Each structure stands twice: as structure tokens, then as C-alpha cells.
Chain A
Amino acid sequence: MRHSDWFTLIPAAIVATVPANAHATVYMSVQQAQQAMFPGATFADRSANLTDPQRKAIAKASGTSAPKNQRVWEARVNESRAGWLMIDRVIGKHEYITYAVALLADGTVASVEILEYRETYGGEVRNANWRRQFVGKKAGQDMKLGRDIKNISGATLSSRNITDGVRRLLVTYDLLLAHA
């Protein structure tokens, strides 16, 4: 239904058929993040399972709970350590977001990039099966305008979860990597 000449209302009938207002965007793969955040570096996988005491200590110091496995790579340039790339996820009320944090060799944050963003209002965000459908989705490198791209306006999402997550990753770094 057209309304004036600059926007189109989406009829309720169409809205009703949209499955649980789900929406997912893949921005980068882990490999793309590595290359973007540490250009020219090689990466050594230092991912590790966190012990229960470690997870408890991280939760206490940071205020948010840590995953059982922390994904992290050491970035090396010219035989020396350039820094660390940590991959993490935050689960909001309706969002499931995977992101990457690049730390310099001294542990300071160099950059933060969102890798994948998924949202649903059907309550499935904590359901592992729902999350599985996004595994293997390719980053939208060849997106055609108008297809696959969803540009949204209407409810400003707070990135507070990411801020809290980065704080937790810095605590994890102090615990696991600062003296590695």
C-alpha cells in the first residue's frame, strides 16, 4: 500500500507471514577478521577450554559469564607477536552476536568488529538448534543491492552487551594470555 510518495506501509497480512521476525547478517568470517584486524600476520590457534575455577574468576571480575571454550589466536608478524585475536559471543534478550576483538601485544584493545548478528523475537535466541541454522553462512561479500541487505531503522539497539563482553575478554586475557 503506497502512502504519499516516499514510503510504503507493509500490510499486516504480509507481516503475519514473516517467521518470528528473524533476521541475520554475516559481516565477516573468522579468517576475514584475522586478515582485516592484523593485515599480513600469521595466526597460531591458542584456543583453550576454561576450567571451572577460571570461569568463576572471570565472571567475578567482569560481571558476565565466560564460555567453556575461549577462541583465541596469537597474531605474529616478522617472527614477533603482534597481538591476539579473541572471538566471543554475547546473547541479548533477542540477539545472538559473534564478534572479534584484536588486542595489541601489550593487551590494549586495537579494534572490535562484529562478525555475525542474529536476532529473533520468537524467543529462540537461546535455542542451540535455532543457532545451528546459521553455521556456515557465507559473509555477504557479493550482496546485490536490495537483496540480502536489510537496512533497519526503528529501534536503537544498545551495544552495551559488547562493551561488557570486551571487558570480560580483557579479564580473560589477563588470566590466560598476559604472561604467555
Chain B
Amino acid sequence: MIRRCRPLLGTYVEITSEDIATIDRGFEAVARVHALMSAHDAHSEIGRLNREGHWKPVHLHEWTCEVLLRSLDWSRRSHGAFDVVRSADTDWRVVRIDGDLATLAAPARIDLGGIAKGFAVDRAVDAMVLAGARHGFVNAGGDCRAFGDPIWPVIVVEPTTRAPFAEIQLCNNALATSAVHPDGRTNQLDRSDLLSVTVRADTACDADALTKVMWSGTSLAAGLLADCGATAFAIRADGKFAKAA
């Protein structure tokens, strides 16, 4: 097995497989997601959408469209608990997708940080399988997915001490964790009762989105986990294990 690591998506992305050429294909897919969807890059498609979308339609790559459509679907099903729109006075309902064109019904700031990493991991896996890889593992800052026959052990660490907390055996499925930032910051609303939530699902994109759904504390979380055949657990603020939802 060969393992490589590159800085992408604002974190460290590790790809493990047998063949360096297929690993390169995986990184290309991740780099493409990074270029299309980076929230901090004015030249990314999301950057352009945020800047121009409220006064003219913006043409988007099919991957960007797909992530936005999935995000809107998660918003619908979670009654807004999941939301990629970060503006104080608008929400996901201002985003309109029509084929490969997107508009914003009002000025808004979209941030795909809650779902793009998982999506990138899935696209990397697709690219590697297409290139002939029989098995491998992609880990983007803790959003990870295993494919092929082998079982890949993943250690979930406590986010403030990085002490090992639990071990999961992944096999053709994915894991994502949403945690408090070690310095106390989070991208979502603060949870004073939890340190992190970890979701296991079939795809990294679903696992990623579901961690945000769970983190929101919505009563719909258990049902949405079940709909995806996903499972989850959390680490409480006192460092103890807590059941999912």
C-alpha cells in the first residue's frame, strides 16, 4: 500500500491505495472540488455565485450543482437544521438551481464547508475505481471512506486532547466527525454539551451532512440517520460516550 498526503480543502487529505497513478487520480478529483467550491476563494464557482448570483444567473459545473441540490435536499428534510447559507437574514430557500444555472433570490453567502469534504472524498473514490483501483482509503481531515474488500480501522479521537476514543472498522462505507475546534470555535452553532459527533454512512457526503444535522440538535436527526441507514455516536463535553439521537 502507498499512502500520500496533500494539503487540500483547507485540511490534510490522505489517499492510500496500491498504485501511485490511481492515487493521483484521487487527488485530482479532490483538487477539482477544492477549485470549484472553496468558500474562501473569490475565483471558485461558489465565490462567484456569492458575488454575482443575486443579480444574474451563474453557470456551474455539474459537481457544484450536485452539491447545492443535495444541500437543499438536506435543508428541506431537516427543516433548515442543515443549511449552507450563512447569512443572518436569509436561508437555503434563496438558492435556485435551474439545470446548470444558479441564482440567489436575495444576496446571500453560501459556504459548502459542511458537505464539500464528504463529496470530494466520494468523487476521489469514484476516480480511483474508474482508474482500476481494487481497494483504497481516502481521508479528508477526518471525513473518510474505504472501498474494496479490506477492513480499514479508523480511530476516532477526542477533539481537544486527540486521545483515542473509539475504533471503527470501515469496509465499503464512510465516516465523518464534526467537532468543536480545539480552540473552542466551531463552524456551526456552539454545542456546550458535546465535543463531537461521528456518523457512519454508505457515502462520505451523507456522513458529512449528517454530522451537521446531528450537531444542530434537531429532533429530526434520528429519522434522517435511519433513512440513510446511517449510525452515529457523540462525545459529550465531559469526555464520555453518548448515543446518537
Contact = CB atoms under 8 A, between A and B. Distances in A.
Interface residues of B, number: 52
Given A159-B7, A159-B11, A154 B179 contact: yes
A149 B3 contact: yes
B141 A149 contact: no
B231 interface: yes
Contacts of B14: 151
A7 B10 contact: no
Contact of A152 (B8, B10, B151, B154): B154
A7 B166 contact: yes
A60 B176 CA distance: 39
Contact of A15 (B6, B152, B164): B164
Contact of B1 (A23, A117, A149): A149
A145 B1 contact: yes
Nearest to A97: B12
B161 interface: yes
A3 B234 CA distance: 13
Contacts of A99: 7
Contacts of A141: 2
A157 B141 contact: yes
A151 B176 CA distance: 12
B143 interface: yes
A85 B196 CA distance: 39
Interface of A: 3-4, 6-10, 14-15, 18, 21, 23, 25, 27-28, 36, 93-94, 99, 111-114, 117, 119, 121, 140-146, 149-160, 162-163
A19 B39 CA distance: 38
14 contacts: A3-B166, A3-B241, A9-B166, A21-B162, A146-B153, A153-B139, A153-B157, A153-B175, A153-B198, A154-B156, A154-B165, A154-B177, A154-B179, A158-B11
Given A113-B6, A143-B3, A156-B142, A18 B164 contact: yes
Interface of B: 1-8, 10-12, 14, 16, 20, 137, 139, 141-144, 150-170, 175-177, 179, 182, 196, 198, 200, 231, 233, 241
A152 B139 contact: yes
Top 7 nearest A-B pairs (CB, nearest first) are A159-B7, A154-B157, A114-B5, A153-B142, A156-B141, A155-B159, A162-B7
Q: Which of B7, B151, B167, B177 counts the most chain A CB atoms within 10 A?
A: B7
B245 to A, nearest CB: 14
B157 A152 contact: yes
Nearest to B198: A153
Contacts, number: 149
Contacts of A23: 162
Nearest to A8: B167
Given A112-B7, A151-B152, A36 B179 contact: no
B213 to A, nearest CB: 17
Contact of A160 (B10, B20, B157, B231): B10
A155 B163 CA distance: 11
A111 B23 CA distance: 14
Contact of A154 (B4, B142, B150, B170): B142
Contact of B4 (A7, A28, A163): A28
B142 A155 contact: yes
A29 B14 CA distance: 16
A114 B137 contact: no
